[in-house]
Structure 1
Amino acid sequence: MRVAIDSGGTFTDCVYLSADGEVKVLKVFSTPADPGKAVLDAVKEVAVSSISPEVRHGTTVGTNAILERKGARVAFVTTAGFEDTIAIGRQARTSLYDWFRSPLPPVVPKGLRFGVAERVSAEGEILRSPSAESLASLREAIADSGAESVAISLLFSFTNPQNEQAVAEALKPLGLPVSVSHQILPEFREFERGSTVVTNAYLAPKVSTYLNRLETEIGNAFQAGTVDVMQSSGGIIAASIAAEEPVRTVLSGPAGGVIGAYRLAQLAGFAKIIAFDMGGTSTDVSLMDAAEGGPRTTSDSVVSEMPISVPMLDIHTVGAGGGSIARFDQGGALRVGPESAGSLPGPICYGKGSLPTVTDANLTLGRLDPDLFLGGKIRLDDARTLQLMDASRGPLESAEQFAAGVVLLAETAMEKAIRVISIERGYDPREFTLVSFGGAGPLHACSMARSLRIPRVFVPRMPGALSALGILMADTVRDYSRTVMLNVTDDTSLAASFSELEQRALDELLASGSTGDLKRSIDLRYAGQGYELSVPFGKRHLDDFHALHQKRYGYSNVETAVEVVNVRVRVTVPNAPVHLATQTSVPGDGAQAILKMRRMYFDGAWHDSTVYQRELLRAGDTFSGPALIAEYSSTTVLPPRCTALVDIYGNLVIEVDAA
């Protein structure tokens, strides 16, 4: 039995294949104090003890450890004289005009940075090996430091890892997790490489303990079972690998949403999409074009001021979600987020919270039906919500006006995120379809699409659990890379570099008994540049680079020499496909799915609106707003001047009138 689970800030979503192959969904409240409890509860609810579940997991354990600065105490080992590189960084200021902004303190304090006397040249020649005495002294110093994990990143170890291997071997007797840069990230730029390996070491104890415990508990609850983990790059890896390289799981859950959005949009015939995933605590957006290879990865991500250079899907995140708390600041201005009510205490309407949130605002505006939340499993407390929203409205005239302001501010923050990944990168959002999912996404999608002039909204089946569905659909993926610094015309050296990576990949495939597809890519730049662009390797990679540079930066120069910076190999092992049921499309008006009428607030006035049960809609049904479409995992709001069509997969295709 295949089960995919995505742990969110408010809900833990479970998507699974039933005995007859049907895709089903379950949502349970997350347990932030013990995330594994919600995961295990969900698996136990959908599986029987006599089977061996194949569990795929999108985890936020690593993400939360970074955001909350609750990782391990890390000892950082580098070449003597470069101990402070990890703190100096690039001296880039994220808020150029904020004179009073203080950066977060480095996760490795001064007393935990250690230098070792060694040196490797840029060409890989060993100029000085660490002595036995210096290694013994280093081992003793780290033992006395109280470190819980070790990160090793020596200069130019990506050209020759011999000295780094010697240091790691010398520290083995300490019994601590050791992360080495030539395994985690064998690429140049010592700050980014050091930061990435430090992040890995920072997460390793917590993530490995969590995954090992989860595997044990699933093994105890069932006859047997396997646990795989979603990577930030959009592929699955075994839990044992994720435990050793947890830095690859930092965007685990959001990556599942991107994969799910792309796969379902492709089935429905949409090639150019913007994925919009709004959950309880944050919103993730990503732009994809099938003509450009679909989901795109980046190797220069920053998470909570920590640069991470392993491949990640290109996802932009903002702190706006259904649980984002609304308040008036000292100057009397209304603010929304980034603080979130989470699952405990949660929004007011869940019964335990007392601070107004975006979810409470939607309920106040009639855009959530209190009797239909989670398929009726939970009744939202609308009376208490209205009372506390009215008490929190400050100088505004009514609770409705306050709620409308809260929704507007949240949508403005999310619209800005979409502008960042589209307009600021040379893409016209009017050419794309907005794919909306997450528990809260479909509540806001049409309004945001109208503001951005996006003509169409696509709400997939089970939108509140699409990230889990994407995890279920994802293939197993491994990424390999190496810095080479070659002229783009040096075919012989390029071939040798690719062969080395591919041999490593094939060896790992052979050891696991798998077969997979290998794809090559290269990072290119014009001579003299300090940044590069990644393109697929092949007959047209040089032309592709010039075209991408033109699109990204507004110019290209075919006369300038081009350098190869990194070579990359991605291995994809296709997993068994997930077949989604289809219906025959028959024109209809959705009358069979109408539950009742209710009033919803739009543009400063209340409107009589139709409430539909999404599970009762049929392929070919077409209807217009204002309407509310309720289902188990989410709620879709159809404002006035919007028209929805149900396609053969049960997806909602909504045409948005920009007027």
Structure 2
Amino acid sequence: MRVAIDSGGTFTDCVYLVDGEVRVLKLFSTPADPGRAVLDAVKQVAESSAVPEVRHGTTVGTNAMLERKGARVAFVTTAGFEDTIAIGRQARTSLYDWFRSPLPPVVPKELRFGVDERVTAEGLVLRTPSEESLRQLAAAIQDSGAEAIAVSLLFSFANPANEKLVAEALQPLGLPISISHRILPEFREYERGSTVVTNAYLAPKVSTYLHRLGTEIEAAYTGGSVQVMQSSGGIIAASIAAEEPVRTVLSGPAGGVMGAYRLARLAGFDKIIGFDMGGTSTDVSLIDAAEGGPRTTSDAVVSEMPVSVPMLDIHTVGAGGGSIARFDAGGALHVGPESAGSVPGPICYGRGTLPTVTDANVTLGRLDPDLFLGGKVRLDDTRTLQLMEEARGSLGSVEQFAAGIVLLAETAMEKAIRVISIERGYDPREFTLVSFGGAGPLHACSMARSLQIPRVLVPRLPGALSALGILLADTVRDYSRTVMLPASDAETLAAQLQELETRAIEELQRQGLSGEAEHSVERSIDLRYVGQGYELNVPYGANYMGEFHSLHRKRYGYASAETPVEVVNVRVRVTVPTAPVELPKSELIAGDGSQAVRKTRPIYFDGAWRESKVYQREQLRSGDRFAGPALIAEYSSTTVVLPDCIAEVDAFGNLVIEVYVA
């Protein structure tokens, strides 16, 4: 039995298969102990005779980064370079903010240690650390109170001999050790060091969490197993995730991207913008099937820490259903990034006292109190209206206050979509907005209209699409290496890629994950014009030079075929496909959805209340077509159809909304 569970800030979503049918369960998250909600979900859905394969999208690592609650890390590097981890780059995230205080460094001064060794950029060992210096290093780290160790020596990606000696000398301390030539054998000292430090920072907490979760599942179900979603969009064994937790910091959002891509392709849409709005944040991504599907990046920054392992290209903003609205000292209204989470939650959940985006939607009639979570939880609309009235101050009516909260949240989300589309040379009018997450479909039509996106796709189970993406994901392992070769040296380039591929397949076979006919291999290379500081990734093939020039022109507006090009990194991705899930398909029969109408209710649009139909999504049929204004309620989410927009149900049960753009 395959079970996928995504832990979010407000809800823990579980998707599972019963007789080939996909089903969903939503539970309130347990932030103090995230594993409790995961285990509760497994117990509720797993039959006593079934052996569950639990696939997990975890936020344990993400939250540890955001809250700065990781381990005390001893950072070990080449003598003279101890402070690179704190100095970082010259770039500042808020150039003109005089009052911004950067987060404290993950590694304080007293936990930075230098080793007297040196390797050249070409990989020649100039100086080997002495046994005495390594004994002194181990003693100093033991006395420091460190809980984990990160080792990142200068140019160890070219020759890891000295780094292996250091790791061997520190092994007797019994602390988790993260080593750069295993985790990220690439150049750029600061980014490599930061990635390894992040891995060490998360290792004790994530490892403890996964080991405990695995032990409890194995104890309850003989043969049960736990696998974890990576930030790159692939599944890995929990044992690997425990050793390399840096690969899981965008675990949940990655599931959403993969789910959106799979379902959109099935529905016939190849160019999509993923719009995942949950309780705490919104994640957006742009995917073009013609460019190979979901893109990964190695330039992510999480909580002001560069993380250079492959991650899906996701842009996140602090706007979610639980985002708190407040007035500043000057009387201006702000929304987020602070969130009410699941405890105490929005006002309408019964415990919160501060107005949130969810409360604004309740006030505007865009959430039906009786139909939330399929009627299992009733929203307290009376209490919400009372506290919203008290919170609005002098800002017009309570409807104007609520509409202002929604507008500010949507403005932040619209800006995020512009970052991944317009600012990168893509026209959003050529794409379909795929909206999911518990709160996404509430705002999707408004977002699409603002950006002139012609249609919105709300897939089946939108509030649990991240979990569905985890259920459908393949097992994936990524490998990379810095090579610094002329792009014209095709023979050496091919040899480097082949060596990396051989290593990747050997490791998968040792883990029992791959046979010769059961895996696929993707090769790619990072290219740049000689003299440039950053590179672009293109697939490795017969025309990799042409693809590089084309991508460079699209990204930066120009290309130069005469300028020499160099290969910076080689990359290999090995994929072991998971067992497919067949989603049901129905015949299209023209209808107006009248059988699914539960009631009518007033909803606030554009400064006025309008009587609108409320549909129960589970009762809609493929082929139904109707116009807004309307509310479509279902177990995992609620969809708002704006006036003049047309909603239709496709053969797979997805909602396809034609957005009217004036």
When normalised by structure 1's length, the TM-score is: 0.99
Which residue of the partner structure matches residue 336 of structure 2?
337
Q: Within 1, Cα distance between the matches of 2:6 and 2:248?
A: 12
Q: Within 2, Cα distance between the matches of 1:50 and 1:266?
A: 35
Which residue of the partner structure matches residue 360 of structure 1?
359
Structure 1 residues 498-507 or 296-305, which shifts more?
A: 498-507
Question: Per-residue displacement from partner, 1:443-484 (whole Å, max 9, x unpaired)?
Answer: 000011101111100000000000000000100000000000
Q: Within 2, Cα distance between the matches of 1:644 and 1:97?
A: 45
Which residue of the partner structure matches residue 50 of structure 1?
49
Whether the 8 Å CA contact 1:50–1:223 is kept in 2: the answer is no
**What is the identity, as a one-letter code, of the residue corresponding to 2:42?**
V
Which residue of the partner structure matches residue 406 of structure 2?
407
Shift of 1:184: 0.4
1:33-72 equivalence runs, <5 A: 33-72=32-71
**What is the identity, as a one-letter code, of the residue corresponding to 2:124?**
E
Question: Per-residue displacement from partner, 1:419-448 (whole Å, max 9, x unpaired)?
Answer: 000010011111110000000000000011
Shift of 1:224: 2.5
Question: Per-residue displacement from partner, 1:195-236 (whole Å, max 9, x unpaired)?
Answer: 000000000000000000000111112223010000000000
Q: Within 2, Cα distance between the matches of 1:487 and 1:102?
A: 43
Question: Per-residue displacement from partner, 1:627-655 (whole Å, max 9, x unpaired)?
Answer: 00000000000110110000000000000
Which residue of the partner structure matches residue 477 of structure 1?
476
**What is the identity, as a one-letter code, of the residue corresponding to 1:253?**
G
Q: Within 2, Cα distance between the matches of 1:207 and 1:627?
A: 43
Which residue of the partner structure matches residue 371 of structure 2?
372
Which residue of the partner structure matches residue 556 of structure 1?
559
Which residue of the partner structure matches residue 442 of structure 1?
441
* Matching residue within 560, 573, 587 for 1:584: 587
Q: Secondary structure at the match of 1:234?
A: coil
**What is the identity, as a one-letter code, of the residue corresponding to 1:464?**
G
Shift of 1:510: 1.7
Q: Secondary structure at the match of 2:365?
A: coil
Shift of 1:101: 2.2
Structure 1 residues 247 and 361 mapped into 2: Cα distance closer, same or farther (>3 Å)?
same
1:309-324 equivalence runs, <5 A: 309-324=308-323
Whether the 8 Å CA contact 1:49–1:223 is kept in 2: the answer is no
Q: Does 1:180 align with 2:179?
A: yes
Which residue of the partner structure matches residue 603 of structure 1?
606
Which residue of the partner structure matches residue 10 of structure 1?
10
Q: Within 2, Cα distance between the matches of 1:415 and 1:330?
A: 26
Shift of 1:530: 0.4
Shift of 1:578: 1.1
1:234-383 equivalence runs, <5 A: 234-383=233-382
Shift of 1:100: 2.9
Whether the 8 Å CA contact 1:207–1:243 is kept in 2: the answer is yes
Question: Per-residue displacement from partner, 1:14-67 (whole Å, max 9, x unpaired)?
Answer: 00011x110000000000000000000000000023321000000000000000
Which residue of the partner structure matches residue 542 of structure 2?
539
Q: Within 2, Cα distance between the matches of 1:531 and 1:356?
A: 44
Which residue of the partner structure matches residue 625 of structure 1?
628
Q: Does 1:520 align with 2:519?
A: no
**What is the identity, as a one-letter code, of the residue corresponding to 1:204?**
A
Q: Within 2, Cα distance between the matches of 1:163 and 1:67?
A: 33
Q: Within 2, Cα distance between the matches of 1:292 and 1:507?
A: 29
Whether the 8 Å CA contact 1:164–1:180 is kept in 2: the answer is yes
Question: Per-residue displacement from partner, 1:349-400 (whole Å, max 9, x unpaired)?
Answer: 0000000000000000000000000000000000000000011111112111
Report the identity percentage.
80
CA-based RMSD of the aligned residues comes to 0.6
Q: Secondary structure at the match of 1:597?
A: strand
Q: Within 2, Cα distance between the matches of 1:402 and 1:220?
A: 52
Which residue of the partner structure matches residue 654 of structure 1?
657
1:104-253 equivalence runs, <5 A: 104-253=103-252
**What is the identity, as a one-letter code, of the residue corresponding to 1:5?**
I
Which residue of the partner structure matches residue 395 of structure 1?
394
Q: Secondary structure at the match of 1:197?
A: helix
**What is the identity, as a one-letter code, of the residue corresponding to 1:456?**
R
Q: Within 2, Cα distance between the matches of 1:158 and 1:222?
A: 42
Question: Per-residue displacement from partner, 1:585-616 (whole Å, max 9, x unpaired)?
Answer: 00000011010101100000000000000000
Q: Within 2, Cα distance between the matches of 1:217 and 1:361?
A: 40
Q: Within 2, Cα distance between the matches of 1:101 and 1:355?
A: 25
**What is the identity, as a one-letter code, of the residue corresponding to 1:590?**
G
Question: Per-residue displacement from partner, 1:247-279 (whole Å, max 9, x unpaired)?
Answer: 000000000000000000000110110000000
Q: Secondary structure at the match of 1:362?
A: helix
Which residue of the partner structure matches residue 78 of structure 1?
77
Q: Does 1:594 align with 2:597?
A: yes
Q: Within 2, Cα distance between the matches of 1:51 and 1:93?
A: 53
Consecutive unaligned residues of structure 1, counting only runs of 5 or more, are none
Q: Within 2, Cα distance between the matches of 1:242 and 1:355?
A: 37
Which residue of the partner structure matches residue 573 of structure 1?
576
Structure 1 residues 508-517 or 557-566, which shifts more?
A: 508-517
Whether the 8 Å CA contact 1:609–1:628 is kept in 2: the answer is yes
Shift of 1:492: 2.0
* Matching residue within 631, 640, 643 for 1:640: 643
Structure 1 residues 47-56 or 463-472, which shifts more?
A: 47-56
Which residue of the partner structure matches residue 509 of structure 2?
510
Which residue of the partner structure matches residue 461 of structure 1?
460
Shift of 1:496: 1.9
Shift of 1:291: 0.5
Q: Within 1, Cα distance between the matches of 2:167 and 2:489?
A: 34
Whether the 8 Å CA contact 1:48–1:222 is kept in 2: the answer is no
Shift of 1:503: 1.4
Whether the 8 Å CA contact 1:351–1:380 is kept in 2: the answer is yes
Aligned length: 658
Q: Within 2, Cα distance between the matches of 1:373 and 1:510?
A: 47
Q: Within 2, Cα distance between the matches of 1:51 and 1:592?
A: 37
When normalised by structure 2's length, the TM-score is: 0.99
Q: Secondary structure at the match of 1:509?
A: helix
